[in-house]
């Protein structure tokens, strides 16, 4: 009994002593699992050690979709975190929450002395600015698709790295003729072969500047360039010059197991490919379809940004602003970029990586940033902002699968995407008017 009492007294004493230095807590929900999640914890720990007023607590919430859904549900219950990581296709949904989100340009303008939006790479932030050009969320992990290739295989087959779709098809055919199971495969087919293909060739993806101009936007991919591209891919499936691996990142094992010579994937696949490949690999810019253009325009990003949610104390927002400043420092950014393959979000971080000789030691790791900054973005290559975009991606996945399995012609599938996509866009418009 006496021991029990002693225990209670000691516990109480510990509780009283703990918050001697009362720190403001900032909660950050994210969707970075595995090694990326450890890196996120490292970043938060770095910030927490750099000052003693605020504590950032990162919480892993599952996939991108689960994280966004959870944050919205929490908001409806009045339990929202301060910061939530949302993938690029959730942008329109987040923007529709007037009074729900705290635009980053407002937050930084109010609490961060000397914050300069021009420090960020235009190609990265263009996806997340309002029509007036104001930054709504802070880019955190942005990537863009690149073409990965098996260097050993190219040497063995006597092939050059392809720069056009014509060359890629010929190289893939050569690989298959010489006993490879598959010439080329692609992860994230919608993001890479439709969304980025359109931007890369300066083709419109949707009307009203790809949806930046308002909720009345309509799908615009029923053009000759896209239909011909899908027809070419379909032709390549016939002899396994292109093998469809499944949705999202399903193609990765096929490249790492040396079943396919070429692999379209996010630049952020670098970490996994670097650890998983026991062959010489390289990355290069996406090929150009010379039937449409001689020179590529620029690619668009994927990945996610950090949104700030309304409903917290002023002191806490001050802390969020401090954390965002820390997150944007060249050292933190360059480290994150070099570890993950995500692009640096500021010019300074890019220059720092150059100074550190990272690109010389790891050739090709600046491919993503080169693609993004190739040209001044046009209304077709700034980004894509559609409501119900998650569902529209599923529609695109389904219709493309119908092409790969021979149930629909490329033209039928693309028209179905336009028709079904428009229905989803109208639905979003009705719910958010």
Partner 1 sequence: MSERSFFKNRWLPYWLLLPQLLITAVFFLWPAGKALLQSVQRQDAWGLNSSFVGLANFFDLFRDDLYLQSFGTTLIFSVAVTLIALAGGLLFAACADFILKGSNAYRSLLMWPYAVAPAIAGALWYFMFNPSLGIIANALEAIGYDWNHALDGGDALLLVIMASAWRQIGYNFLFFLAGLQAVPNSVIEAAAIDGAAPVRRFWAIIFPLLSPITFFLIVLNTVYSFFDTFGVIHATTQGGPIQATSILVYKVYETGFLSQDLGGSAAQSVVLMTMVIALTFIQFRYLGARVHY
Binding site for partner 1 (CB under 8 A): 65-66, 69, 72, 75-76, 93, 96-100, 244-247, 250, 253-254, 257, 259, 388, 390-391, 394, 397-399, 401-402, 404-405, 407, 424, 427, 430-432
| Nearer residue to partner 1 within complex by CB, 254 or 334 | 254
**Torsions phi, psi for 62 (to 5 deg):** 95, -150
149 close to 264: Cβ distance less than 8 angstroms: no
Shortest distance (Å) from residue 10 CB to partner 1: 40
| Nearer residue to partner 1 within complex by CB, 169 or 399 | 399
167 close to 290: Cβ distance less than 8 angstroms: no
The number of angstroms, rounded, from the C-alpha of 370 to the middle of its chain's C-alpha atoms is 16
Shortest distance (Å) from residue 381 CB to partner 1: 26
Shortest distance (Å) from residue 402 CB to partner 1: 5
| Nearer residue to partner 1 within complex by CB, 102 or 326 | 102
| Nearer residue to partner 1 within complex by CB, 178 or 427 | 427
| List of residues 6+ apart from 44 with CB closer than 8 A | 28, 56, 57, 58
| Nearer residue to partner 1 within complex by CB, 316 or 401 | 401
Q: Are strands 138-143 and 302-308 parallel, antiparallel or unpaired?
A: antiparallel
381 close to 297: Cβ distance less than 8 angstroms: yes
Cα separation, 155 vs 337, in Å, equals 29
Shortest distance (Å) from residue 187 CB to partner 1: 12
Q: Coil, helix or strand for 17?
A: helix
| Nearer residue to partner 1 within complex by CB, 52 or 278 | 278
Sign of CA dihedral 198, 200, 203, 207: positive
Please list the residues that pair with 150 across neighbouring strands. Answer: 281
| Nearer residue to partner 1 within complex by CB, 166 or 248 | 248
Q: Which of 394, 400, 422, 417 is nearest to 229 (CA)?
A: 400
∠ CA 98-389-302, nearest 5°, is: 95
| Nearer residue to partner 1 within complex by CB, 264 or 323 | 264
Q: How far is CA 112 from CA 50, 104, 109, 155, 321, in A?
A: 17, 11, 6, 53, 6
| Nearer residue to partner 1 within complex by CB, 241 or 424 | 424
406 close to 236: Cβ distance less than 8 angstroms: no
432 close to 96: Cβ distance less than 8 angstroms: yes
Please list the residues that pair with 315 across neighbouring strands. Answer: none
Shortest distance (Å) from residue 414 CB to partner 1: 15
For every residue of 91-138, DSSP letters joined together read HHHHHT-TTTB--HHHHHHHHSTT--GGGB-HHHHGGGB-TTS-B-SE
Shortest distance (Å) from residue 75 CB to partner 1: 6
Shortest distance (Å) from residue 241 CB to partner 1: 16
DSSP state of 118: G
Shortest distance (Å) from residue 245 CB to partner 1: 6
Shortest distance (Å) from residue 313 CB to partner 1: 21
């Amino acid at each position: 009994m006496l021991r029990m009492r002693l225990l209670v007294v000691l516990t109480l004493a510990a509780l009283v002593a703990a918050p001697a230095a009362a720190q403001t807590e900032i909660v950050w929900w994210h969707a970075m699992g595995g090694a990326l999640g450890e890196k996120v914890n490292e970043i938060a720990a770095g910030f927490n050690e750099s000052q003693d007023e605020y504590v950032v607590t990162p919480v892993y919430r599952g996939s991108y979709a689960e994280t966004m859904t959870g944050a919205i549900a929490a908001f409806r219950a009045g339990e929202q975190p301060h910061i939530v990581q949302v993938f690029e296709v959730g942008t329109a949904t987040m923007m529709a929450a007037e009074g729900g989100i705290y635009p980053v340009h407002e937050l930084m303008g109010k609490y961060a002395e000397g914050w300069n939006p021009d420090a960020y790479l235009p190609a990265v932030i263009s996806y997340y600015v309002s029509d007036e050009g104001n930054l709504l969320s802070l880019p955190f992990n942005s990537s863009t698709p690149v073409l990965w290739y098996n260097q050993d295989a190219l040497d063995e087959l006597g092939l050059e790295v392809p720069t056009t779709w014509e060359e890629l098809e010929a190289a893939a055919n050569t690989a298959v003729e010489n006993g490879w199971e598959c010439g080329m495969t692609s992860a994230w087919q919608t993001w890479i072969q439709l969304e980025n293909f359109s931007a890369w060739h300066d083709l419109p993806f949707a009307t009203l500047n790809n949806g930046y101009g308002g909720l009345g936007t309509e799908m615009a991919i029923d053009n000759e360039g896209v239909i011909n591209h899908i027809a070419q891919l379909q032709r390549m499936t016939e002899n396994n010059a292109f093998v469809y691996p499944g949705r999202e990142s399903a193609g990765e094992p096929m490249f790492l197991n040396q079943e396919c010579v070429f692999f379209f994937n996010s630049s952020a696949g670098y970490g996994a490919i670097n650890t998983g490949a026991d062959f010489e690999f390289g990355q290069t810019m996406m090929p150009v379809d010379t039937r449409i253009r001689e020179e590529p325009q620029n690619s668009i990003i994927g990945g996610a940004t950090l949104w700030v949610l309304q409903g917290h104390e002023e002191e806490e927002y001050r802390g969020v602003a401090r954390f965002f400043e820390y997150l944007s420092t060249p050292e933190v950014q360059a480290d994150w970029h070099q570890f993950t393959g995500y692009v640096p979000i500021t010019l300074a971080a890019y220059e720092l990586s150059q100074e550190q000789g990272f690109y010389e030691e790891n050739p090709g790791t600046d491919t993503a940033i080169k693609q993004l900054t190739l040209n001044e973005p046009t209304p077709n290559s700034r980004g894509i902002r559609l409501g119900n975009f998650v569902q529209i991606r599923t529609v695109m996945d389904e219709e493309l699968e119908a092409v790969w399995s021979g149930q629909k012609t490329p033209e039928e599938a693309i028209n179905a995407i336009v028709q079904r996509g428009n229905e989803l866009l109208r639905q979003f418009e009705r719910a958010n008017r």
